[in-house]
Structure 1
Amino acid sequence: MELERENIYITLVFPPDTDTPGLKEENKSKPKETQMINETSGLLSAEQVAKKIIQSTRKGSFTCSYGINGFLLT
C-alpha cells in the first residue's frame, strides 16, 4: 500500500514443487516425511508455474497459489 503512489505492487508467490534440477538435488536429502507430504500436492513444470505468476501479477493479485492445497495454505 505504501508504494501504490509509486505504481509499485507486490505479489506473494507460493509455488508448489516445480520440476527443476534444483528440486531433483533437494530430493536427494529431503526427509522421508517431507517427501510424503510433498507427493500429495503434485509436481508442476517451470512453465506452468511461470505462467500462473505472470497471470497473477498482471491481474494485480496480492497472492499467487496453486490448487486447493496452496489456496488453503495461504
Structure 2
Amino acid sequence: MTEGAPDDRAMPALWPQSDGTPVSCRDKLLILQENHTELQGILSDAFEDAILMGVDEAAMRQILHDLVNSLRSPKA
C-alpha cells in the first residue's frame, strides 16, 4: 500500500441496517464502499495536513470525532 492510500482493512465487512440485518443490495453496497473509500482519502489528507501544520495529533483526532458526532440524520 502506498502512503496515503485507502486502507481496505478499515472497510466494514457488513453494513448493518437499523434492524441489524446487513445491507445486501449490490448497488447500495457499491455506493457505500465508494463513499467509504472517498471519505477515508479526504480524512487522511485533512489529518496529515493538520499534523504537518503543527496541530496536535490527539487534538485533530478529537476534532474529526466531533465532526462525525455533529452529523444530523436525514431521517430526523
TM range (shorter): 0.3 to 0.5
TM-score by length of 2: 0.33
Q: Which has the bigger relative contact order, CA under 8 A and spacing at least 6?
A: 1
TM-score by length of 1: 0.34
Greater fraction strand: 1
